[in-house]
Amino acid sequence: MSKRTLDTFFNPSPKKAKISLTDSKDAPSSHSTYPFTVPQLPPEISDLLNFAPEAEGKAIIDQPDLDLLYFQPYIPGSISTPLFEFLRGELFFYRVKYKIKRGPIETDINTPRFTTVFGVDETSSFLPDGSLIDATTRKPIPKDRYKTCKPRPIPHCLDLLRKLTEAATDQRYNFCLVNYYATGDDSISYHSDDERFLGVDPAIASFSLGAKRDFLLKHKPTPPSDTKSAAAIASETKPLKLPLGSGDMVLMRGSTQGKWLHSIPKRKGGESGNGRINITFRRAMVAGGTENYYRYNVGDGDVMKWDAKTKSMVVWGEKKEGDEVEKKEVKAEDVDKGYAAL
């Protein structure tokens, strides 16, 4: 005879039967374009994200054409390190390689940072099942809309941050770029995120997690002018240095991208070895933006994943013999506007 109790007789188990893993609210994010699934944030992190921003944003508008809002920090201090370690440990990254030609000499560039990207431009949107529809007609997109990439939906863990950031900054974002700077040798040189496909005066929210790194901004060179004072030129030339700490967020808006350059320079010692993650949210308006971001932030190289044992990014998944993957070469001419990081 069964040992079934009265209690279980009158309270039959509610689980097992119907609730599948993929329906569950805390199911990992998966998609045909992901090399592996990405877990959702543990509650001890996501619960506290709702208390962000921890500090009020401070406007930095005291220089010509500069419009920043600096949250120091934005992410509560109690979760910035756990969030950093979660993302470093759970996301897939790429070390993009390409060639540049300087005069007659061709040089191999090994991008000095790890990157990954999610999102799709305003002309398309993802359905819950992961398929892409046209944003206007709500019908499946034409097969040739994205010729060189397969857009990836933003995983839940990053999409939560995206939504909170939209609310806090009164802006909309459809792309999430993530960069990992493993040591002080990783960097990004001066550039602007002023691609045409972002539209005029784009707003870009940039989060820092992990090791502290200097963020340098300087005005773009201005055409010579007789009417400009030496002091005015000096103020446009002097770089501004923000010591970005874990949890900080910088919202760059208005004419900032059009008129200023920014970089994360290489650094000796100190922060080296701890690693820093940068997350940017931005809004691409046309399909060309999607092609560009995937080409230069995913590329066609190996998938990399954090290895806790060696405390480093290692190639994920072993290639078996006999299934060589064909790789396309990136042309130097296409690279100039390719990167958009910080």
Partner DNA sequence: GTACCTAAGCTAT
Partner DNA sequence: AATAGCTTAGGTA
C-beta of 30 vs 255, nearer to DNA:
255
C-beta of 111 vs 116, nearer to DNA:
111
- Minimum gap (Å) between residue 238 Cβ and DNA: 8
Among the candidate windows 9-17, 19-27, 102-110, 170-178, which touches DNA by CB under 7 A?
A: 102-110
Strand partners, 307: 312
CA 276/CA 181 separation, integer angstroms:
5
Q: Tell how strand 132-134 and strand 240-244 pair up.
A: unpaired
Among the candidate windows 28-36, 101-109, 150-158, 314-322, which touches DNA by CB under 7 A?
A: 101-109
CA 17/CA 258 separation, integer angstroms:
57
Q: Does 323 bind DNA (CB under 7 A)?
A: no
What single DSSP character describes residue 93? B
Q: Does 301 bind DNA (CB under 7 A)?
A: no
Residue from the set 30, 85, 159, 190 that interacts with DNA by CB under 7 A: 190
Q: Does 340 bind DNA (CB under 7 A)?
A: yes
C-beta of 172 vs 241, nearer to DNA:
241
Residue from the set 149, 216, 240, 303 that interacts with DNA by CB under 7 A: 216
C-beta of 30 vs 192, nearer to DNA:
192
SS3 292: helix
Task: Report whether 297 belongs to an annotated binding site.
Answer: no
Q: Which residues of 231-248 are buried (b: 16+ CB within 10 A; e: fewer)?
A: eeeeebeeebebebbbbb
Residue from the set 82, 112, 288, 301 that interacts with DNA by CB under 7 A: 112
Residue from the set 39, 42, 57, 265 that interacts with DNA by CB under 7 A: 265
CA 191/CA 265 separation, integer angstroms:
12
Q: Does 241 bind DNA (CB under 7 A)?
A: yes
Q: Does 212 bind DNA (CB under 7 A)?
A: no
Nearest to 279 by CA among 250, 312, 241: 250
For 195, half-sphere exposure in the C-beta direction (CA atoms, 13 angstrom radius) is: 24
Show the tokens assigned to 76.
């509560």
- Residue 119: how many CB atoms within 10 A of its CB? 25
Scan for tokens 């609730």, then name that residue. Answer: 19
- Minimum gap (Å) between residue 263 Cβ and DNA: 7
CA 94/CA 180 separation, integer angstroms:
10
Residue from the set 6, 105, 231, 308 that interacts with DNA by CB under 7 A: 105
For 108, half-sphere exposure in the C-beta direction (CA atoms, 13 angstrom radius) is: 5
Residues that bind DNA (CB under 7 A): 100, 102-103, 105, 109-113, 187-192, 214, 216, 218, 239, 241, 265, 267-270, 335-336, 338-340
- Residues annotated in a binding site: 179, 181, 191, 194, 262, 276, 280, 282
